[in-house]
Structure 1
Amino acid sequence: MDAAHALIDWSPLLRLLGLAAVIALLPLSWWWLRQRGAPLPRKLAALTALILFLTVDLIAVGAFTRLTDSGLGCPDWPGCYGELSPWGAKAEISAAQAAQPTGPVTHGKAWIEMLHRYLAMAVGALILVAAAMAWRARDQLPHSPWWATATLFWVLVQGAFGKYTVTLKLYPAVVTLHLLGAQLLLALLVLQHESFRARPLAVARQRLAPAWVAVVLALVVMQIALGGWVSTNYAVLACQGFPTCNGQWWPQMDAAHGFTLLRHLGQTGQGGALPFDALVAIHMAHRLFAVVLVLALVALAVALRRSGDAVGRRYALALGGLLLWQLASGLSNVVLGWPIAAALAHSVGAAGLVAVLTSLWARLRQAQSVTALAPAVARRPAGGGAVGARQPRAS
C-alpha cells in the first residue's frame, strides 16, 4: 500500500452504510413477510434468531478471511483504498499484486475481506432495527430490552476491533480479541432471543444450577481464546501427529515468548523472531486445556441426560454432538495439515457451543426467577395488583 494512503479513510463510509442497509433489507423483508400478524415478542424472537443465523455466518466468513490470509486484502478501513469495493480500487490492487503476487493484497483477498465487512455492517444494521423495535414496544415484552441495547453497544465495539485488526496489521492480541468479541456478540444475541421467548427450563427443579453452566461456558470461552491464539499465531502445524507432538509426549516449549501478549505477529516482545518452541507451547496449551473442557462438557451432558426432562435431554444431545464435532474437526486440522474445511468447521462448532450453553444458562436463570416469584404471587390478594415489574412467563 502507498505510504501516503491513510490507513483510515472515511470517504466511502456513507456509501458503505447505504450498501449495508440494502443488504439488511433482504433478510428483513423476508422476516416481515413471515411474521405478519404474530405477537410482538414472537416477532422479535424471530428477528433475533435470523440475526443469530447471520452472525454465525459472519463468524464463518471471518474465519475464512483469516485462514486465507485475507485480513489485509484491503489494507485501509472501512473501504478498500478509499473505495466502496475492490472494483473501484482495481488499479491499486493490481499494482500491489504485481509487486507481491502472493502478498497480503490480491484481487481475491480484497473481495473476501470486503464481503466480510459488508456482512458485518448488515448484521449491525439488523441489530439496530431489533434494538429500536424492542425499546419502542418495551411495555409489551416479557423482559426489559436491555439485552438488545447491550447487543447494539457490543456490535459497535466489534466494529472498532475490526478497524484495529487492519490498522495494526493483524496484531495477534487484537485479532484474538476480535474473535472473542464475535463469540460475545453471539452470546448476547442468544440472551436477547431467550428474553423475548421467556421459556424457563424445567430441569432447574432437578437442582441443575445456572452457575455450573456458567463455569462450563467460561471454560469454552477460555478454550476459544487459546484456539484463537493458535490460529492468529499460525501455530496449528507446530505439532505434527497426535496424540504426541512431533514424536514426543512433552515436547520442548517456550511459553514465556509464546504467551507474551503485547507483540507483533511472528515476533517476540523485544522485536526478534518468535522461536518455534513458542509456537509449540501455544499449540500444546490448546491441546491440554481441551482435556479439561471435554471432561466438563461430558459431566454437564450426563447431568442433563439424567434430569428426567425432555428439553434437558435435547440440550445434552446438542452438547454431545457439538463435542464430537469439535474433536473430529480439531484432529482433522492436525492430521490433515490444517485444511480450510476442517478449520471452518472447528470455528462454527465453537460458536455452536457458546450458543447452546448461553441458551441453557438463560433458561435456567428464567426458571430460578419464576421459582423466586411464585411465593409472592401465591400471597397476592385476589384481584390485587401485580407484584413487582414484568414477570417471566413459564412455558
Structure 2
Amino acid sequence: MFIQIAIYGLLIALFPLAIVWASKDSNKYRKLIAVTLFLTFDLIIFGAFTRLTDSGLGCPDWPGCYGQANPFQAHNEIKAAEALMPTGPVTVMKAWIEMIHRYLATCVGVLITAQMIIAWWRRSSLRHSPWLATTLFVLVLIQGAFGKWTVTMKLQPIIVTIHLLLALTLLSLLVWAWMRESPPLVVSVQAWLRRLLPIVFLVLLAQIALGGWVSTNYAALACHDYPSCNGEVIPDLDFEHAYVLWRELGKTASGDYLPHSALVTIQWVHRSFAWIVFLSLGLTAFLCRKHEVLRANSNAIIAVLLMQFLSGVATVYFSWPLAIAVLHNAGAALLVLLLSMLNYRARAST
C-alpha cells in the first residue's frame, strides 16, 4: 500500500518535472524550486480546506484508507462508516479530500527529494551549498511524520498546529532557496531595518500559531461578534484550560469536556494579537517602501494585510463560510511567503 501511494505521488510529480525539463529557462534547478514552491503553497491551502471541511479523518488510518491505497478500493468500508454516522468524519467526499491531500504531499516530497539529489550531484557547479536542499528533505520527512500523527492521534490540536507551522517553515525555506538562485539585487537597507524584519517574521508566526490553535480547537465562532466578543470587550477568560497543549481534541488535560470559556479565550487572544501583527507588519512594510527595489513586495504585504483583516472579520459576521475561511488561511501563507522574500532581500542588501 505504501509503495502504491508513493507511485501515485511520483506519477503526479512527473507533470511538474516535465514542465521543468521542457522549460527554456537557463537555470532549470531554480525552475524546479519555483514549481515546488508553487505546489507547496497550493498544498498548504488544500490542507486548510481539508481541515476546514472536517476531512482530516476522512480516512481514519495512515498512509492509506482502510488499508487500501485509494478510496475506490475502500468504498465498502467508507460507505459503511458513512451509514453509521452520515455527518461524521468519514464520508466518500471527505475520504477523497483527505487522500488527495496525501497524494499532493507525496508529490511535493518527490520534488524536494529531486532538489536534494540535484544539489549534491551538481554541487561543484551550483552557486550555493547543497545543505539547504538537504534541510528541506529532512523537514519534509518530519512533516510527513506529523501528517501521520495528525490522523493516528485523532486531530490532537498541538499536533495539527505543529503540522501547519512546519508547512509554513517549509514554504519559507523554499522561498529562500529560490531567491538565492536568482540574480542578486542591488539595494542598501539600513542595519536596524534588517534586524527588525526577522522579529516581525516571528511575530507573524506567533499569530499564525494562535490562528492554528483557533482552527484546530474549532473556536472560530466562539465569539459571534466583532470587535466585541459576545457583547463584551474583555469576556470571561479561561487561560487555565485554553492553552494546555497536550490534550485530546475538545477535552481538558484531565479528560473532561473543554469549557466554552476556553474556546472564547482562544478566539479572543487570536483577534487581539492580530492588532499587534497588523500594526508591526504594516509599519515595517511601509518603511520598506522607501527602497524602490522593495516597494512592490511591501505593497503586496500591505494589500494582503488588509485582506486578512477583512476576511477575519467576515468569517465572524457571516458565521464561518468555507470560502472565506480558506481565503483567510491562504492570506496567512501568502504573508509568510512575502515576508520571507522581504527578509531575504534585506539580508542580501549591500
Q: What TM bracket, shorter-length normalisation?
A: over 0.9
The structure 1 residue matched to 2:268, chosen from 276, 284, 289, is: 284
- Aligned pairs for 1:117-266 (under 5 A) are 117-200=102-185, 202-204=187-189, 206-207=190-191, 209-266=193-250
Structure 1 segments unaligned to the other structure (5+ residues)? 1-11, 372-395
**Residue type of the alignment partner of 1:280:** V
Question: Corresponding residue for 1:20?
Answer: 9
**Residue type of the alignment partner of 1:114:** M
Mapped contact 1:201–1:363 kept (Cα < 8 A) = no
Mapped contact 1:198–1:366 kept (Cα < 8 A) = no
| 2: CA distance, partners of 1:17 / 1:211 | 42
TM-score (normalised: structure 1):
0.86
The structure 2 residue matched to 1:94, chosen from 71, 79, 100, is: 79
| 1: CA distance, partners of 2:18 / 2:214 | 40
Q: Deviations over 1:155-214 (max 9, x none)?
A: 11100000000000000000000011110110111111112115245042x445322110
**Residue type of the alignment partner of 2:35:** L
| 1: CA distance, partners of 2:250 / 2:101 | 25
Question: Corresponding residue for 2:310?
Answer: 328
Asked if 1:363 corresponds to 2:345, the answer is: yes
Question: Corresponding residue for 1:61?
Answer: 46
Question: RMSD over aligned Cα, in angstroms?
Answer: 1.2
Question: Corresponding residue for 1:7?
Answer: none
Deviation at 1:364, TM superposition (A): 2.1
Question: Corresponding residue for 2:28?
Answer: 43
Mapped contact 1:147–1:191 kept (Cα < 8 A) = no
Q: 1:160 to 1:317 in 2, by over 3 A?
A: same
Deviation at 1:34, TM superposition (A): 1.4
| 2: CA distance, partners of 1:268 / 1:332 | 30
Deviation at 1:341, TM superposition (A): 0.7
Q: Deviations over 1:70-129 (max 9, x none)?
A: 101101100111111000001111111111111111111100000000000001001111
Structure 2 segments unaligned to the other structure (5+ residues)? none
Indicate the larger mover: 211-220 or 136-145. Answer: 136-145
Question: Corresponding residue for 1:275?
Answer: 259
Question: Corresponding residue for 1:376?
Answer: none
SS of match in other structure, 1:346:
helix
| 2: CA distance, partners of 1:137 / 1:155 | 21
| 2: CA distance, partners of 1:208 / 1:214 | 11
Q: 1:143 to 1:337 in 2, by over 3 A?
A: same
- Aligned pairs for 1:303-322 (under 5 A) are 303-307=287-291, 309=292, 311-322=293-304
**Residue type of the alignment partner of 1:225:** A
| 1: CA distance, partners of 2:310 / 2:23 | 37
SS of match in other structure, 1:247:
coil
Q: Deviations over 1:338-368 (max 9, x none)?
A: 111111111111111111111121222222x
Question: Corresponding residue for 1:103?
Answer: 88
SS of match in other structure, 1:223:
helix
| 2: CA distance, partners of 1:195 / 1:338 | 39
Q: Name the count of aligned residue pairs.
A: 350
**Residue type of the alignment partner of 2:347:** R
**Residue type of the alignment partner of 2:208:** I
Deviation at 1:257, TM superposition (A): 0.3
Question: Corresponding residue for 1:114?
Answer: 99
Structure 1 residue runs of 4+, over 3 Å off?
Answer: 206-209
| 2: CA distance, partners of 1:160 / 1:198 | 35
SS of match in other structure, 1:228:
helix
| 2: CA distance, partners of 1:32 / 1:156 | 25
